[in-house]
Amino acid sequence: MQPFYTAFFRRLARAAIPLLMAAAAPVPALAAFPDKPIRMVVPFAPGGGTDLVARAMGITMGEDLGQPVIVDNKPGGSTIIGTDAVAKSAPDGYTLVMATMAHAVNPSLHKKLPFDTEKAFAPVMLVGRSPNVLVVKPDSPIKTVQDLIAAARAKPGKLNYASQGAGTSAHLAGELFKAMAKVEMNHIPYRGAGPAITDLLGGQVDVMFATAAAVAPHLESGKLRAVAVTTAQRSQAPALSKVPTIAESGVPNYVADSWYGLFAPAGTPPAVITRLNAAARKAVHTEAFRKRAEQEGLAISGGTPEEFGRYVKAESQRWSKVIKDANITAD
């Protein structure tokens, strides 16, 4: 029997050798992030402030990451359509959303969302904060905040104000103004700032509490006129430095600034978040982006993911109270 067992174990050893060699072979390294293009979803139509900020950042981020950052406009549903697409994307860092204040207020405006805002996203970076600007056509009789208040009170519910969508900074700035100035105006939501501004230029709506980024070119060309800014202090942007705040124009304590920030799907690896944050920081501190930000009154942030997460939580709590007190809905 001894020869039998000897031959058996020899055959077993020969069969095991390839397996042992395979196990001992070095494991191929995982591809370094990123190894393919990154999609940055903008939940608004092309041409608005969020779109412009995303495209300006995407160019430099792509250069730093070594892969193109492609802007994908998915407007509609008060930013919910585009944001939901990101919430349902793979948590691998290849899909981001350029969010705005709407991200923080939608849970208070909508009874049911297709995602849990607090659990579905991982903060990457707060890009910056900027004023909204109360703008009108150059030939509008509304030259001051008091003119707007007087016109609204003279014809309650007749004046229309545009926004880039229900629940956006322009919408809530208008609703806060209505509540604090005790006036009635009709809200006309659009699928992005671009279409809203087009109708404002065409006279289909009377005023807009637009983001500074969206209206900067029109203010510079003289196609629109700035009446006031929504921040607590006057803007440092050259085109807005002489424009008064709504608070100093007769509506004390009025403040409604807007912001931009990047999110990835929840579950994205921390190392990937760190890499994206580094690329985003580099992008917002380039000379080209700083000049654009200065022109449009955008105060650059560029902080950590943790700082952005805390900021959004505070914004959610703040606007939740405003929405409830003013009985604001997304309808």
Q: What is the CATH number of the domain that holds 305?
A: 3.40.190.150
The answer on pLDDT for 6 being more than 70 is no
Q: Does residue 137 belong to any structural domain of this protein?
A: yes
Mean pLDDT of 295-323: 90
30-60, pLDDT tens digit by residue? Answer: 468 999 999 999 999 898 888 989 999 999 9
- Tokens of residue 257, six digits: 């600034």
Mean pLDDT of 4-15: 52
Residue 28: its pLDDT value, please?
A: 41
Number of domains in the chain: 2
Q: Does residue 145 belong to any structural domain of this protein?
A: yes
Residue 8: its pLDDT value, please?
A: 45
Q: Does residue 251 belong to any structural domain of this protein?
A: no
3-state secondary structure the chain: CHHHHHHHHHHHHHHHHHHHHHHHCCCCCCCCCCCCCEEEEECCCCCCHHHHHHHHHHHHHHHHHCCCEEEEECCCCCCHHHHHHHHCCCCCCCEEEEEEHHHHHHHHHCCCCCCCCCCCEEEEEEEEEECEEEEECCCCCCCCHHHHHHHHHHCCCCCEEEECCCCCHHHHHHHHHHHHHCCCCEEEECCCHHHHHHHHHHCCCCEEEEEHHHHHHHHHHCCCEEEEECCCCCCCCCCCCCCCECCCCCCCCCCCCEEEEEEEECCCCHHHHHHHHHHHHHHHCCHHHHHHHHHHCCEECCCCHHHHHHHHHHHHHHHHHHHHHHCCCCC
- Tokens of residue 88, six digits: 């349902």
Among residues 73, 86, 76, 78, the alpha carbon closest in space to that of 46 is found at 73
- For the CA atoms of 189, 195, 201, 205, the dihedral, rounded to the nearest 10 degrees, stands at -20
**Are 125 and 144 part of one and the same domain?**
no
Among residues 329, 31, 46, 49, the alpha carbon closest in space to that of 211 is found at 49
The answer on pLDDT for 287 being more than 70 is yes
Domain that residue 45 falls in: 39-129+258-326
**Are 69 and 112 part of one and the same domain?**
yes
Mean pLDDT of 302-320: 94
Q: Does residue 22 belong to any structural domain of this protein?
A: no
Residue 25: its pLDDT value, please?
A: 45
- Which residues, in sequence order, are CB contacts of 267 under 8 Å at separation 6+? 91, 122
Q: Does residue 274 belong to any structural domain of this protein?
A: yes
Q: Does residue 53 belong to any structural domain of this protein?
A: yes
Q: How far is CA 170 from CA 25, 186, 187, 306, 318, in A?
A: 59, 13, 10, 27, 16
**Are 136 and 114 part of one and the same domain?**
no
Measured at the CA of 130, the angle between CA 297 and CA 278, to 5 degrees, comes to 95
Residue 22: its pLDDT value, please?
A: 45
Residue 145: its pLDDT value, please?
A: 98
**Are 171 and 201 part of one and the same domain?**
yes
Residue 167: its pLDDT value, please?
A: 76
Residue 199: its pLDDT value, please?
A: 97
Residue 7: its pLDDT value, please?
A: 53
Q: Does residue 6 belong to any structural domain of this protein?
A: no
195-248, pLDDT tens digit by residue? Answer: 999 999 999 999 999 988 889 899 999 999 999 999 988 988 888 989 999 999
Residue 18: its pLDDT value, please?
A: 52
Residue 292: its pLDDT value, please?
A: 80
pLDDT band per the 50, 70, 90 thresholds, residue 265: very high
Residue 24: its pLDDT value, please?
A: 47
Residue 228: its pLDDT value, please?
A: 98
pLDDT band per the 50, 70, 90 thresholds, residue 323: confident
Measured at the CA of 316, the angle between CA 83 and CA 87, to 5 degrees, comes to 20
pLDDT band per the 50, 70, 90 thresholds, residue 166: confident
Mean residue pLDDT across the chain:
89
Token pair 């501004």 is found at: 197
- Which residues, in sequence order, are CB contacts of 118 under 8 Å at separation 6+? 107
The answer on pLDDT for 4 being more than 50 is no
The answer on pLDDT for 108 being more than 60 is yes
**Are 264 and 122 part of one and the same domain?**
yes
Q: Does residue 27 belong to any structural domain of this protein?
A: no
Among residues 185, 172, 175, the alpha carbon closest in space to that of 142 is found at 185
**Are 136 and 217 part of one and the same domain?**
yes
pLDDT band per the 50, 70, 90 thresholds, residue 302: very high
Residue 2: its pLDDT value, please?
A: 53
The answer on pLDDT for 16 being more than 60 is no
Question: Does the global pTM surpass 0.85?
Answer: no
Share of the chain above pLDDT 90, in %: 68
